[in-house]
Structure 1
Amino acid sequence: MLLNPTEYAQIQNRHLRLVTLIRLRWLAIIGQALAIGLVSLVLEYQLPVAVCMSLVSLSALLNIGLRVAYPSTQRLGPGTATFLLGYDVFQLASLLYLTGGLENPFSFLLLVPPIISATALPLKNTIFLGLLSAIAASVLIIQYLPLPWHPDETFSLSFTYLVGIWVSLLASLLFIGVYVFSVAEESRQIAAALQATELVLAHEQQLTALDGLAAAAAHELGTPLATIALVSKELQREFSSDSPHMEDLVLIREQASRCRDILGKLNSLSSSGDAQYNQLLFGSLLEEIVAPHRNFGVELNIDLSGDGEEPLLVRNPGLLYGLGNIIENAVDYAKTTVKITGRWNAKQISVSIEDDGPGFPSEIFKRLGEPYITSRSQSDPHKAAEEPGGLGLGFFIAKTLLERSGGHMVLQNKTNGKTGAVIKVHWSRETIETAGEALGSSNLL
């Protein structure tokens, strides 16, 4: 199952909770008020207390207004969140202007708003806040009121040292911002890919459950159909054979009997009550996975052999989708042939899928299996643009599902002058035979 673009947009939407910003701002307000009180009342340094407390009060009023106007569950869009974080940069820069500029030991707090943005907002918003903090630091290196100090002493740092502080702030802003954004972006991609995996598995589970629903419907309809057949039989006895109604009564009985036969077939599809349907021999399971991909102009060959009795595996959505997706990709890239090789012994079961296509591109080979890594753009850019699967989620989902079934996947390209990709998956026989059903019914997240 491929997710449509709307679903991708929903998965990757970025919002920052309003209550998070409010709590962080309260923490800043308390810290700023305590610092101003300590400097003016305890240390008795001279500073513009009224103006400083006015700026702190402004932040407190903003927090109160936001809490009154919006519910605690409100999630902010990137634009609104950027505006509020931009206000925090402006408020902090104003306090630093009044209390020594970059000479103030708390000037490093200018890094906080861009770093918060890097964890949750898009790159362009983070860059904007980073530039805003850099501009504020640049202004504060030349425009600021003296640092509050002893009345009979003057504290002053050389301009060269201030430039060093300015450079260290910008370097820290760049390094920490890039690092935090990269880690957060990777986490977002993994979370979105796993959510997509859950959607796919849920879809496969729904398809698997259809047979059970059909069996339930057959059971519920069995009683009224039996009643119809019984009543029509009794009515036949009431009418003579030459009655004009006799033909209609015979037809009713025949159709009721036909309906019961159809419902009997549906009832046999019950996956929950029919162990024979729920379990398949290894070769039959591979054939079931391969069947939908035949008749696409590519020859699909299955080669089975092993030591001992052929494994009996549980049919589950994760295994079916995982191997099915890999075979589908092989068919897409193959020139003429895809070979599926199944092997087993007393300890291990393995499946090898080979195609005669171009193979895995060398530039992304080591990263295949990560979300949003795809080779479609290199080989077929039009297809990559048209299909959400071109984002590289399909292979990630397949790999995740197969690994959760206990499998280990190995990727390689053919050698000795041949072209094509080879994907091998192997399981411990005990693991896949006993734990397969649990995978099909469990949640991934």
Structure 2
Amino acid sequence: MDLGSLRADPHYSRRLRLETLVRLRWLAVGGQAVTVAVVRLVFGFPMMLGPCLVLVGVLALANILLSVFFRPTLRLHPAATSALLALDLIQLSALLFITGGLANPFSVLICVPVTISFASQPIRQSLFLITIALVSVTVLAFSPFALPWYPDHPFIMDKIMRLGIWCAIVSTMGFAAFYAYRVSLEATQLADALAATELVLQRQKHLSQLDGLAAAAAHELGTPLATISVVAKEMERELGNDPHFGEDVLLLRSQSERCRDILRRLTTLSAEEEAHMRRLPLSSLIEEVLAPHRHPGITIRVVDKSGRTGEPVGVRNAGIIYGLGNLIENAVDYARSEVTITVEHTSDTVKLVIEDDGPGYAPDILSRIGEPYVTHRQREDSAGGLGLGLFIAKTLLERSGAKITFSNRNNRQSGAQIAVTWRRDVMDALN
């Protein structure tokens, strides 16, 4: 499934609201203003008060302009977001530069815009921002301005300590950026995959409801068609022998009767075939799932260990049909010649085991099978893959109450094995 069809803009989920950034910036303005006031007025440390207030005022003015000219619910394009974060980074760096550089204990705050960017923006914009941050930290290491401190005890930082702080900030920035990016990426992929799952399930449910829609349409059309039929009979009685209109009236009546017959069949479709269409024994469910995946070059063998006596019978479930179908499709894609499906049911459990004679799962992938976008499985050619489709199948089956385990057969080279197990009472209600 192409996730691009789910959203017109592939980066829409990474767009931040303007209001979010504005609030964060007001927090920064307040924090900077309070810090400057405490350092100068409370502690009485000498500092460049005028330039500090100008830099804080620039950030506040930019916030005011954004609030006035743009609506707060606006979702910013990644380029615009990166530009605003870059402005914040430069403003903070300038304020730190004139207040001691890396000797300023607040210099670690340079990591904040970078972390926000990696958590919410595409990697291209984030790399651009971290480059600016690295340049800014390096420039701060050479700041000629002294840290605001007691006049009679000037604060002097050793070069080794300055280098250590530079290394600490850079490593913190890199770690925080990588962590935020990975967490955000996994959350985005999971959200996209779940959206695709819901789309597939909704589509399957719509298909299963077509008979009900047809019956409803037939019921609604029945009344006006009956009226047309009555009028046609009256016209036939009056004009049946008319040389000009008699044949037309007869044709009108015959076609109205034909329409009524068609609608009658549609009306009875749901009632007559509901039991057959909506309730399936386990053997019929397996056959329905297998039918679309029979391949001329691959033998699909069904081994029924328990027989059909006392097999589960339940309501058709679109999620189970799609999920099992996807697992079998993967097995057929990777099999060399045969896929075996073993079915077993007891009074407590229902179990399906799908096995193929392909190359099996790679050891490094086996522990991550079922996660979205895990798209590698060892094989002799490169066709097919495991990824979003398998995640959707696993999610739908687990929603039905199934437990799924992925493994390789006894010999790792002899193929993959997927076991799907339900409690009997759950399967009786859902399958």
Q: Same fold (TM over 0.5)?
A: yes
Report the secondary structure of 1:367's partner residue. Answer: coil
Equivalent residue, structure 2, for 1:7: 6
Q: Supply the distance in 1 between the matched residues of 2:298 and 2:120 (Cα, whole angstroms).
A: 45
State the 1:145 CA deviation.
0.7
**2:351/2:419 contact within 8 Å kept:** yes
**1:211/1:271 contact within 8 Å kept:** no
Equivalent residue, structure 2, for 1:334: 335
Within a 5 Å distance, the mapping from 1:172-183 to structure 2 comes to 172-183=172-183
Q: Supply the distance in 1 between the matched residues of 2:346 and 2:196 (Cα, whole angstroms).
A: 35
Query: Quick one: which amino acid aligns to residue 422 of structure 1?
Result: Q
State the 1:261 CA deviation.
3.2
Equivalent residue, structure 2, for 1:319: 320
Q: Supply the distance in 2 between the matched residues of 1:4 and 1:154 (Cα, whole angstroms).
A: 60
Q: Which moved more, 1:348-357 or 1:112-121?
A: 348-357
Within a 5 Å distance, the mapping from 1:341-356 to structure 2 comes to 341-356=342-357
Q: Which moved more, 1:2-11 or 1:120-129?
A: 2-11
**2:3/2:196 contact within 8 Å kept:** no
**1:212/1:271 contact within 8 Å kept:** no
Q: Which moved more, 1:355-364 or 1:87-96?
A: 355-364
**1:335/1:357 contact within 8 Å kept:** yes
**2:312/2:427 contact within 8 Å kept:** no
Query: Quick one: which amino acid aligns to residue 313 of structure 1?
Result: G
**1:271/1:277 contact within 8 Å kept:** no
Query: Quick one: which amino acid aligns to residue 6 of structure 2?
Result: E
Query: Quick one: which amino acid aligns to residue 48 of structure 1?
Result: M
**1:99/1:144 contact within 8 Å kept:** no
Q: Supply the distance in 1 between the matched residues of 2:272 and 2:290 (Cα, whole angstroms).
A: 24
Equivalent residue, structure 2, for 1:421: 416
Within a 5 Å distance, the mapping from 1:398-437 to structure 2 comes to 398-416=393-411, 419-434=414-429
1:369 counterpart = 2:346: no
State the aligned residue count. 429
**1:48/1:98 contact within 8 Å kept:** yes
C-alpha distance 38-240 of structure 1, shift in aligned 2 (>3 A): closer
Within a 5 Å distance, the mapping from 1:35-434 to structure 2 comes to 35-238=35-238, 251-270=251-270, 274-294=274-294, 297-306=297-306, 309-375=310-376, 381=382, 392-416=387-411, 419-434=414-429
Report the secondary structure of 1:397's partner residue. Answer: helix
**2:289/2:321 contact within 8 Å kept:** yes
C-alpha distance 4-261 of structure 1, shift in aligned 2 (>3 A): farther
Query: Quick one: which amino acid aligns to residue 347 of structure 1?
Result: D
Query: Quick one: which amino acid aligns to residue 396 of structure 2?
Result: L
> Which segments of 5 or more consecutive residues in structure 1 lack a partner in the other structure?
385-389, 437-445
Q: Supply the distance in 1 between the matched residues of 2:143 and 2:2 (Cα, whole angstroms).
A: 54
C-alpha distance 107-370 of structure 1, shift in aligned 2 (>3 A): same
**1:322/1:402 contact within 8 Å kept:** yes
Q: Which moved more, 1:23-32 or 1:69-78?
A: 69-78
Q: Which moved more, 1:292-301 or 1:107-116?
A: 292-301
State the 1:248 CA deviation.
5.3
**1:271/1:278 contact within 8 Å kept:** no
Report the secondary structure of 2:50's partner residue. Answer: helix
**1:240/1:246 contact within 8 Å kept:** yes
Q: Which moved more, 1:346-355 or 1:221-230?
A: 221-230
> Which segments of 5 or more consecutive residues in structure 2 lack a partner in the other structure?
none
Structure 2 length as normaliser, TM-score? 0.90
Report the secondary structure of 2:153's partner residue. Answer: coil
**1:272/1:278 contact within 8 Å kept:** no
**1:368/1:374 contact within 8 Å kept:** no
Report the secondary structure of 1:300's partner residue. Answer: strand
Query: Quick one: which amino acid aligns to residue 157 of structure 1?
Result: M
Q: Supply the distance in 2 between the matched residues of 1:297 and 1:265 (Cα, whole angstroms).
A: 40
Q: Supply the distance in 1 between the matched residues of 2:173 and 2:414 (Cα, whole angstroms).
A: 47
